[in-house]
Structure 1
Amino acid sequence: MRPHQSFIRLRTGIPAPFAAASQAGRELQWAGDATCRKRTHANPQIVLLDRRSVCSDETTGAAAHGAPRIRERVARPPARSSRRLCGSSAAEVKTSPTEWSLHLPLPNGVTGAESLAFDARGQGPYTGVSDGRVLKWGGSAVGWTTFAHHANYRKFPMCTVPVAPSEETESLCGRPLGLAFHRKSGDLYIADAYKGLMRVGPDGGEAEVLATTANGVRFNFVNGIDIDQVTGDVYFTDSSVTYPRRFNTEIMMNADATGRLLKYDAQTKQVTVLKDGLPYPNGVAVSYDRTFIVVAHTVPCQAHRYYLQGPKAGHYELLADLRRDGKGGYWVALNQEKGRPGATTAPVKHLVGVRLDGGGVEVEELTAAKGVTLSEVTERKGQLWLGSVELDYIGLVA
């Protein structure tokens, strides 16, 4: 989330990706002279890295970083994910340094598991990737399978057999970003940057396009999404009506403020604009009591609250948190740190995630080596699943 990039997809430029090699037992070398060897999980598709420093692949030169791990291991109820927000540090918070992480590689040739979701049966994760598909992880015996896609994915050969970089074909093939399940129906709602708001049933397949416009204005960069599980109403963002996802840096460079917060009414099937004129709105989250929505802005690296009910209904105000953490608060994945006000020196630790309580106060932080960035932190059954729009794997912290 930006100043540059933020969680919820706030960016500051594209940081160098940190990636783990998929072959078991491959030799890696630390940035210094010492060496490190990859340790493999019982599942050969999952790579376990011991991260005491940054490793560089001798063959490719790619950096390999561990993802963050929280210290406490108490069981937590399932929680929603949060998307990137610019990092800000509180004075007294628990710091959980990274040490070990599991890397779940995506299929060859695809990247960018920006959003992660689990269905009502606990299956998943599901994630959208760079070639336009939504994938489902079926465990080590099954691996990754195609769960959903836009009609164009099967229609045009260049989508299934890439002949150009995904950035050049995503407007045709689709680029699913935010994902959210409606638990009662089992339907998966998809915020596709180019194709609009889509939905697919519990068995997957070709996704149905539900909406592409609001108030006569076409969606241009559909991004974050969440669902009111009681009403089935869907809340989502259109990050800019001027610039599409491929040119998202132009939103920041030109201080574009044409983004919108939208609502899809499950009963009327109509889309209404709740708030427009927003600077790069990104991820969204419906509050536990369903009285407001939290909206993260990539620029100016803030989170706001839009009230749905009560005396403040329709009011939009500054907040500082994002998605729920299972304890009444929120996990926020960080793409770029934001220094403390008045600080005269660079931060001594690199934050990749923070936990905020229900009042928006930072209570815990995750740290990692420089260069590590996240776009999603999803907490489920005491584990943290870590997504990134730049990487070719998903991180898992037990």
Structure 2
Amino acid sequence: MASGARSSLHSFLALLVLLPLVVLSAAAAVSYETKSMDPGLVVMALPEPVSGPESLAFDGRGGGPYSGVSDGRVLRWDGGLRGWTVYAYNSKHKSVALCGPDKKLVVPESVCGRPLGLQFHRRSGELYVADAYLGLLRVPARGGLAEVVAAEAGGEPFNFLNGLDVDQRTGDVYFTDSSTTYQRSDYLLVVALGDETGRLLRYNRRARRVEVLRAGLSYPNGVAVGGDGEHVVVAHTALCELRRHWVRGPRAGASETFVELPGYPDNVRADGRGGYWVALSKGAGVAAGAGAAPTVAVRVSPEGNVTEALEGFSFVSVSEVAERGGALWVGSVDTPYAGELRRRRPSV
């Protein structure tokens, strides 16, 4: 398909995607507090020309955040003076000339890889990365070259790896393959055409193999390990909901709707209180009219209720919100920066 035709198709599909959201947002009764995230937001600009800090992770010592960016590398935030430094890279950066670190070109992400979800296994110090094109990657504790630990499951190659979390008790890695039909570059088709070929996967760290926990899913995206270790919460983007998938114990294999959301969910992170922060790629603000700040994230309680929402103009679209150290750390696949929103003043 010609690039112009593809662009027109994507614009048309984007409109189709937004129409049901307007109905959803107008009908939803908002019974939670909405706060603006722009006051107090500290912006952490990425080095040019990279962009898109889609997911954020912190190491076992609290360092970071770390984030994958548009040229396929993983960067680490080293504070305001040093900014972002290179922490990890994949084999393409050594074998493909266009992906070399000295190149300042904007290269198609399918060439150099696109790291999306990532999380540390704190005990070993290893960082696991879901690369949309290259597969499940593992970075050694001191950073450097990321190795591919899995590229298929159940005899079917990965096609669109997306969300990822690590069970810190077992070291198992839970991740999603959003579609076995469409790649990340055609993510709009996954939503607009009702694709249901996504998979929930688990990498058994001890056995070094991948299991398909559930197949035939509607756009599984972000994933977070539940506090009991028996279930994971998965964002199903096209359904505008979080689902709870039971992965261990007597209910293993069962799933249920956990909460319906006022927008399309992206990544999910535990909030440290038994609940979750859920990023919304498009939120309730879409239906509020011109000039309204979009809802970019919500907090969900352990009982499955939306208890708080964030809105803002700095991030029209948010991919992840992570709570750590009295602050919210914000990533977006669409911006050349990440952000820190301080929730309270530090004690003196």
Q: TM-score, normalised by structure 1?
A: 0.73
Tell me: CA distance 1:300–1:198, structure 2 relative to 1, closer, same or farther (3 Å): same
Aligned to 2:33: 94
Aligned to 1:300: 239
Q: Comparing both chains, which one has the higher relative contact order based on Cα–Cα distances under 8 Å and sequence gaps of 6 or more?
A: 1
Aligned to 1:337: 283
Q: Distance in 1 between matches of 2:71 and 2:117?
A: 15
How many corresponding residue pairs? 311
Q: Distance in 2 between matches of 1:190 and 1:271?
A: 14
Q: Distance in 2 between matches of 1:308 and 1:331?
A: 21
Aligned to 1:230: 169
Q: Does 1:356 align with 2:295?
A: no
Tell me: CA distance 1:265–1:122, structure 2 relative to 1, closer, same or farther (3 Å): same
Q: Which structure 1 residue ranges, 4+ long, deviate > 3 Å from structure 2?
A: 86-91, 161-166, 345-349
Q: For residue 239 of structure 2, give the secondary structure of its aligned residue in structure 1.
A: coil
Aligned to 2:65: 125
Pairs within 5 Å for 1:376-387: 376-387=320-331
CA apart distance, 1:310? 3.3
Equivalent in 173, 177, 188 of residue 116 of structure 2: 177
Aligned to 1:151: 91
Q: For residue 221 of structure 2, give the secondary structure of its aligned residue in structure 1.
A: strand
Q: What is the identity, as a one-letter code, of the residue corresponding to 1:132?
A: G
Identity in percent: 48
The answer as to whether partners of 2:73 and 2:115 remain within 8 angstroms in 1 is yes
Equivalent in 302, 308, 311 of residue 367 of structure 1: 311
Pairs within 5 Å for 1:73-88: none
Q: TM-score, normalised by structure 2?
A: 0.83
Q: Distance in 2 between matches of 1:390 and 1:349?
A: 17
Q: Distance in 1 between matches of 2:40 and 2:80?
A: 20
CA apart distance, 1:339? 8.1
Aligned to 2:78: 138
Q: Distance in 2 between matches of 1:101 and 1:221?
A: 32
Q: What is the identity, as a one-letter code, of the residue corresponding to 1:147?
A: Y
Aligned to 2:3: none
CA apart distance, 1:157? 1.7
Between 1:366-375 and 1:285-294, the stretch displaced more is: 366-375
Structure with the bigger percentage of helix: 2
CA apart distance, 1:225? 0.4
Aligned to 2:50: 110
The answer as to whether partners of 2:285 and 2:294 remain within 8 angstroms in 1 is no
Q: For residue 116 of structure 1, give the secondary structure of its aligned residue in structure 2.
A: coil
Consecutive unaligned residues of structure 1, counting only runs of 5 or more, are 1-11, 15-85
CA apart distance, 1:190? 0.5
What is the CA deviation profile of residues 330-383 of structure 1, one whole-angstrom value per residue up to 9, with x for unaligned ones?
A: 11122212489xx9x759653121111101111111122497121110111110
Q: What is the identity, as a one-letter code, of the residue corresponding to 2:145?
A: E
CA apart distance, 1:89? 5.6
Question: What RMSD in Å do the two structures reach over aligned CA positions?
Answer: 2.4
Q: Distance in 1 between matches of 2:61 and 2:216?
A: 38
The answer as to whether partners of 2:49 and 2:104 remain within 8 angstroms in 1 is no
